[in-house]
Amino acid sequence: MAKDYNNLAEQIIAALGGKENIKNCFHCATRLRFQLEDRGKVEEEKPVTVLSKTVPLADPYILVYDSLYYIYGTNVGTGFDVYYSKDLEYWERASALSLSHTNSYGESMFWAPEVYYVEKDKKRSLVFRPHPLTFKNFISLGLITSDEVDEYLRKFQNNEQLYYDQTSEYFTTFWHSDVFVGDISSIIPCYFLTGKPIIYCHTDAVDDNDIMKKIFSVSYNAYSFEDVEKILLDLQNGIDPLKEKRLKLKDELFEDKYVKYVTQNIIKVLKDN
């Protein structure tokens, strides 16, 4: 048995105001379309409970918590669906998305989630992703010894809230994060595409690139660790006053009329230099 279609039909009819409220019904391969007598009788966001042996999710991720199994995955473009089960056989879809674009920094491209349960007093985790040559250069400059590097990285191994990311590509890490904290870096424009907030830690280095200047104008500026801590706390509490400006600039900078000239711009820079 894949689905209890009789139960599903009864719930759909009830959510539409009953049989007497349905004038006509049409369908294609994936959609049901109704003509109704009175649209006011439709129950808004009526949760439909269907137990199923199949879960229509790609890239599934299963979390076990409090004797229940939760499965998250790619299904809709505006958030993550979640199903739960007591026995890993019959699954029930939650009445709402586990993460929706309405309460996230992203607007679309929600795919391949990883979900972890975090205790109340452990609300933050840090992904540390330095430049591949960072430690080698620091050692050569005499800023740190190889033994100190080993000791530093050991702290990440012994703390479940810290993660030293050494993967070859960074896009997965970006989409699974909530905020970027760092100084001038060529990967900032890539992170900016996620629509998520950036905390720019000021240094003596200056970037005269027009795009970077615009990105920094809608980023949060930090001049000390205390600044970073305060900004993170605000974001954690849902205080993100630059969100609207940030998303607007993202659309302006990377819309077709700009992107289509990227190749020409690269060639011009190579010729000029």
Q: Which of 31-40, 87-96, 142-151 has the lowest mean pLDDT?
A: 31-40
Say what the pLDDT of residue 180 is.
Answer: 93
List C-alpha distances in Å: 258 to 1, 2, 251.
52, 48, 10
List C-alpha distances in Å: 210 to 140, 218, 261, 264.
33, 13, 15, 17
Say what the pLDDT of residue 76 is.
Answer: 63
Say what the pLDDT of residue 77 is.
Answer: 66
Query: What's the whole-number mean pLDDT along residues 233-238?
Result: 84
Query: What's the whole-number mean pLDDT along residues 218-235?
Result: 91
Say what the pLDDT of residue 140 is.
Answer: 92
- 270 burial type by CB count under 10 A (0-12 exposed, 13-18 middle, 19+ buried): exposed
Is 0.75 surpassed by the pTM of this model?
A: no
* pLDDT (tens digit per residue) in 132-146: 888 889 899 998 899
Query: What's the whole-number mean pLDDT along residues 26-31?
Result: 64
